[in-house]
Amino acid sequence: MIETNDLSKQFNNDFWAVDGVTLNVQPGKILALLGQNGAGKTTTVRMLTALLRPTRGWARVAGYDVTQKPQEIRANVGVLTEQHGLYMRMTGDEYLEFFGKVYGLDPHARKTRSDYLLQYFGLAEASGRRCGEYSKGMKQKLALARALMHDPSVLLLDEPTSAMDPESSRLVRDEIARLRSSQRTIIICTHNLAEAEALADSIAIIYRGKILLNGTLDELKRVVLGPVEYEAKFARDFDAGDLDLPQGVTLAARNSDSLRFRVEAPQAVNPTLVHALASRNAPLVSFQEVPRRLEQVYLKTMADAQGVAYAA
């Protein structure tokens, strides 16, 4: 579990890299931390791994306070850093063996775990080669294997699929999803919004060190983009005239062969709305929710934060 309250970090006594971050990630959940480069994602992760000492606020990771029990946190957290951080003159085998020792695994556990991870990430054949000879994707996979070597209860992943080919990315995403089901607490820092959308249970958007938004994807969509929109498509041109809309529904857009409605409580209102259309003999072909992507949420949030107009 990860809990933070007013977590803040100041550098050079004048620059707040992270300012008042409050998060709560339960076991078995994944939080995606989104933000521009320099927004404070890496600094937040570094505080959560007890690498940086918070200037203000507190954080508890895997049940330990980051300032009081840094060693315990490091022993229970797996970190995939922004750079893969491999020793280029070591072989894949040696690398995992070294980190197995670092995390205090006995020789048998080291061998078993290392063999499993190399096999799982498709690196078994390359395990005797030096890391410097690996492709970018292989390096990233080996780095992820290192983060998982000691089977940590908390995972902090900074750009886990960057530089990976689509197949490898898929493999890593599947692995992350599988790790969630094993009750691990996971934070992913990423610029890949599709990945965040696919994996995260909750999303936090950070800008200049401050959390602008934090919640589930649906909550974020509602807060940023407003109520859900539904589109009714007609078989031919249809003049709806003055439709008597149920309470909590507003007309968002009108075209000759479609209408778009903004609906506050779809479950309660949609049947009435569809009935109203049918009673006007509307040649209804489909009635469905207008898809809204995380990208829209993110870009609108960023545009609002920077005070510029959001081009949908």
Tokens 């649906």 — which residue? Answer: 218
d(CA 196, CA 219): 15
122: Cα separation from own chain's centroid: 25
| Binding segment (CB under 8 A) for other proteins, from list 91-99, 170-178, 233-241, 270-278 | 91-99
Burial of 13 (0-12, 13-18, 19+ CB in 10 A): exposed
Minimum distance between the CB of residue 208 and other proteins, rounded to whole angstroms? 18
Number of residues interacting with other proteins: please give it, by CB under 8 A: 34
- Specify whether the CB–CB gap between 142 and 123 falls below 8 A: yes
Name which of residues 251 to 270 contact other proteins (CB under 8 A): none
Minimum distance between the CB of residue 292 and other proteins, rounded to whole angstroms? 36
Binding mask 10-29 for other proteins (x = CB under 8 A): -xxxx---------------
Binding mask 102-141 for other proteins (x = CB under 8 A): xxx-------------------------------------
- Contact status: 157 vs other proteins (CB under 8 A): no
d(CA 107, CA 109): 6
- Contact status: 151 vs other proteins (CB under 8 A): no
Tokens for 255? Answer: 């075209």
- Contact status: 51 vs other proteins (CB under 8 A): yes
- Nearest residue (CB) to other proteins, 12 versus 181: 12
- Contact status: 94 vs other proteins (CB under 8 A): yes
| Amino acid identity for residue 114 in this structure | S
User: How wide is the angle at C-alpha 35 spanned by C-alphas 34 and 38, nearest 5°?
Assistant: 135
**Side-chain-side CA neighbours of residue 182 (13 Å):** 12
Residues that bind other proteins (CB under 8 A): 11-14, 46, 49, 51-53, 71-72, 74-75, 77, 79, 81-90, 94, 98-99, 101-104, 143, 146
